[in-house]
Chains A and B, each alone.
Chain A
Amino acid sequence: MLDKPASALRIRERLIESERLMEETGCYDGITELQLRNQDPLKFETLHTKLRAYCVSAREMARRISASPGVREVGEMVVAIYTPEGDAIALSNGIMVHVHTMSRFIKWMIRNGYEENPCIRDGDIFANNDAFIGTVQVPDVMDVVPIFHSGRLVGWAGAVCHELEAGGITPGGDVALAQERFTEGLFVCAEKVGENDEIRRDYVIRCERNLRMPIYWVLDEKAKVASCIDMRESVKALIDEIGLDYWMQVSKEFIEEGRRAQLARTRQLTVPGIYRGHTFYGHVTKGKPGYQPLGDPDWLYNIPIEMEITTDGKIIMDFEGTQPWGYHSMNCTPAGMDGGMFVTLTQHMNFEGLVNDGAWMATELKLPHGTWTNPDNEMVATATSWALLLPAYGVFQRLLSRAFVGRGFVEEAFVGQVNSPMIEMGGTSQYGKLFGMAHFECAAAGSGALAIKDGLDTAYVGWNPESDMGNIEIWEQNMPMVYIGRSIVANSGGAGKYRGGCSFVSTWLVSKTDHLRLVTSEHSSRVFDNGGMCGGYPAPTCQKHRAVRDSNIFELAEKRAPLAHHTGTNPHRSELELRLQGEHVTMEGPYITAPHKTGDVFTHSYNGGGGYGDVLERDPIKTAADVENGYLTREAAEGIFGIMLDEDEDGYPVANLETTKRHRAEMRARRLAKARPVSEWIAAERGRVEKADFAPEVKKMYASAIKLSSHFTREFSDFWNVDAKSIFMPGAKP
């Protein structure tokens, strides 16, 4: 039964030793000097680049094995190589959020005695999608294989794919309706799923019998295992070349170098100090089918973040004052929070590619126990934790960007990521078969603006830096809906000197099915969950969905009459209502209804990014081009930016610089006339605070934050000069 590794130290003891050395020396595994790097820097860098190449190549190969459009088309995959203790040495491109979550998974197995049972042997395959062990959400399924050389455990190769179907209470991967762990879908909890490089048949059977669309999951498993084996063999060949002792030392030096590089980069790009920001997220489910009455149906979360950059270059993020976990799918585990930090850092500060777990070691997250960031109950659901993670790390990006602006690296300042509303579906496919899928065109939102230019239109999400919405034809092969439109949403970027990137809206005709379930998630209701910066506005977010049941679209098509291809720019009456007859539905919050059928029309839009700088400084010429191309409406150009447009002889908009100047001067004067001193506003607002004259959800938010955080209570009380506890928790002990 026992198959102890041949090393003098057991793996668990080695892990504890490594952590002790880090604690004592402040350096990874006690590596206080980069000896091999100093001896031969060229060899050192060449080896690190080789490892990176192994990862990139293994991921690309694996994508060709996958059947999932999420992996093949959008690239929802990452692979990495780890030390025996489970620290990432090198990683591929892709969904880098999971590099550190996989590290947690490996360490969890080591800490839990996997050496003794179920044993760790050459050729074994371990899988996990349990966020409390080490992943973000149930569809993020990871596989790792140990790397043995000369009978000794010398590392791990790991791979993660985001699955498009997880077998939960609602179809798709991000199981929107899950309110507890037990409805999230198929869990694989740090399980040995294969031996001798082969996935066990009983595991495949379990997948086939518990998923709506097992082909995605099962072929992704094969893709991941193939990539792991490919990396493992490459590492073994490398060790043959450089020697085992050299490998064991150099792999640790890579990580220590990564840690030092992150600290140095922080000192190079930022300014030490305390940075603060916040965002909010609203959830509205009252009266919607399927939700169990376990908590308040409608709620508002605050997500305050305080970031400290110390003079030694360490970044510390503190979520003190945020909300408790809840009976919804948006909770996050510390593993997920780590992942969010890692993927943001790799984009903003470690863009040279030679990044590893060392970067993460140069940061610290303070996640208050009992909040959605660190639940004190492991039965909570985390299936859509990105709903809160993305807004939170969007704040982090703005805080970092404040530092870049201070230091002068304005080209790196970026207003940040936004939420990516998901659409999940299932039922009977256009081929008459059972199906389920998450539609991943959401991987192409608008980005926040930069401090020197507009944000990217339909080309960025925080969780996958290689943003890609995928081709329409590929999605149509995988779902019983056809596109009748995919359009830029005008004004969907936050306004500013530089506007946020715009989002897009898709419009579909349900086709060749009598049972299509559609569910949406990860879009905030009633509040914007992003922000602007330096005078820019937040972007408007997708809050409502529109559908037409039993539409007359086939009759219209027969008559060659105009169809609706998008929702239009009238917030009170959509293009669907203008052009189509049928039962019109407009739904706030998550879209969850009875199944759709052929002839129904459905729309889903995504989010744009926040703006940067004062709107009155926006370039009129650029704005005219934006209006011409549908990124801004003429109404917005004039009303928000003060830019007056004429038309040229062909009817195209042209900025009138003279009238714009006058109009802007008037707007600025109106702004000054309308504004009042903040001190006056605080004095007036204080009365409202004292009476707690707020919506029930707002009062509940304050009460929850006060209950969990004495720091929040003190800050609130000091700011308004009130006793926050007695206002929001009357009857509670002072």
Chain B
Amino acid sequence: MTSYSKEVIADLVAGTLPWPQTRRVMSAYKDDDRFFKYVAVLQDRVGWKDPILLPVSDHLFICQSGDERVTRCECGHSFGDYRKNWKLKASIIVRNTEETLREIYPNSDIPDPQWMEIREFICPQCGTMHEVEAAAPGYPIVHDFQPDLEGFYREWLGKPL
């Protein structure tokens, strides 16, 4: 069975594993023990103690915080109950003018602001940009991911939450 050290997984996640080795990881049979090593790597990275239950983005994690399960930024900011859309508790910058769109697309065609806007969802504490939506004006904010956390742990990982 394929298995990698925690150090290899850490380098892989950080994007620093040398390419030939990364290529081998991509081509090989997958390592069944990846998840908990991955979570351990991320737990070392964050500056807080709440156990990570599931990463949901590059710097966003569902974690056990006392009796609650919340979505938390790597900086520690909590976006509240993981079942609710974290974006509704985030800060936002909306690019819906030619001038603000040009800041991101200085040399290309840009969307018509009447047809599409760029929404940047930001952690109000550390300023990390967690997600970008490109949507028609008026389009409801998307709830990207509602994991079946109980089913995942119980039926797939074979461990209690």
Contacts and interface: CB of A to CB of B under 8 A. Distances in A.
Interface in B106-161: 106-112, 114-116, 118, 120-122, 124, 126-149, 151-152, 155-156
A268 B29 CA distance: 11
A488 B148 CA distance: 43
Nearest to B9: A408
Nearest to A301: B136
Given A280-B136, A678-B87, A678-B121, A272 B152 contact: yes
Contacts of B94: 681
B124 A276 contact: no
Contacts of A635: 106-107
Nearest to B134: A538
Given A531-B134, A640-B104, A678-B88, A671 B93 contact: yes
Interface stretch (A98-106, A244-252, A611-619, A654-662): A611-619
B48 interface: no
Contacts of A720: 138, 140
A571 B109 contact: yes
A695 B108 contact: no
B64 to A, nearest CB: 16
Nearest to B140: A719
A66 interface: no
Contacts of B37: 408
Contacts of B32: 268
Interface size class of B (residues with CB under 8 A): 35 or more
A412 B58 contact: no
Contacts of A702: 138
Interface stretch (A202-210, A399-407, A476-484): A399-407
Given A411-B12, A535-B132, A527 B115 contact: yes
Interface string A718-731: 01100000000000
Nearest to B22: A411
Contacts of B133: 531
B148 A272 contact: yes
Interface in B67-92: 87-92
B122 A675 contact: yes
A452 interface: yes
B144 A526 contact: no
A406 B134 contact: no
Contact of B144 (A277, A497, A636): A277
Nearest to B87: A678
A410 to B, nearest CB: 6
A407 B9 CA distance: 12
Nearest to B56: A406
A672 B135 contact: no
Interface string A635-653: 1100110000000000000
Contacts of B57: 402, 405, 534-535
A142 B81 CA distance: 52
A733 interface: no
A452 B15 contact: yes
A249 B88 CA distance: 55
Interface string A661-694: 0000000110110111111011001001100001
A278 B135 contact: yes
B124 A527 contact: no
Interface residues of A, number: 90
B39 interface: yes
A672 B91 contact: yes
Contacts of A492: 108
A495 B108 CA distance: 12
Contact of A538 (B26, B115, B132, B143): B132
Interface string A419-446: 0000000000000000000000000000
A13 interface: no
Contact of A716 (B12, B107, B111, B140): B140
A229 interface: no
A528 interface: yes
B46 interface: no
A543 interface: yes
A669 B127 contact: yes
B116 A280 contact: yes
Given A278-B142, A701-B136, A408 B38 contact: yes
A280 B135 contact: yes
B145 A274 contact: yes
A302 interface: yes
Contacts of A498: 15
A363 interface: no
B137 A688 contact: yes
Nearest to A454: B15
Contacts of A25: none
B158 to A, nearest CB: 11
A269 interface: yes
Contact of B109 (A271, A412, A541): A541
Nearest to B155: A311
B122 to A, nearest CB: 5
Contact of A675 (B92, B139, B148): B92
B144 to A, nearest CB: 6
A537 B148 contact: no
A271 B93 contact: no
B146 A698 contact: no
A308 B153 CA distance: 17
Contacts of B38: 407-408, 410
B106 A694 contact: no
Contacts of B107: 490-491, 569-571, 633, 635-636
Interface in A541-579: 541-544, 569-571
Contact of B140 (A535, A570, A669, A715): A715
Nearest to B144: A276
Given A273-B152, A492-B108, A688-B137, A407 B35 contact: yes
B93 A527 contact: no
B35 A527 contact: no
B58 A497 contact: yes
A532 interface: yes
Contacts of A528: 111, 116, 134
B145 A677 contact: no
A208 B98 CA distance: 50
Given A409-B30, A410-B13, A541-B109, A698 B129 contact: no
Given A538-B134, A678-B121, 16 more contacts: A279-B134, A280-B115, A300-B115, A402-B56, A406-B54, A406-B145, A408-B13, A451-B58, A453-B19, A490-B107, A535-B128, A636-B107, A675-B127, A682-B88, A688-B137, A698-B138
7 contacts: A279-B134, A402-B144, A528-B116, A537-B118, A571-B107, A614-B129, A678-B92
Interface of A: 267-269, 271-280, 282, 300, 302, 311, 402, 405-412, 451-453, 489-492, 495, 497-498, 526-528, 531-538, 540-544, 569-571, 612-616, 633, 635-636, 639-640, 668-669, 671-672, 674-679, 681-682, 685, 688-689, 694-695, 697-698, 701-702, 715-716, 719-720
* A-B pairs with lowest CB-CB distance, top 6: A408-B38, A540-B108, A675-B91, A719-B140, A273-B147, A526-B112
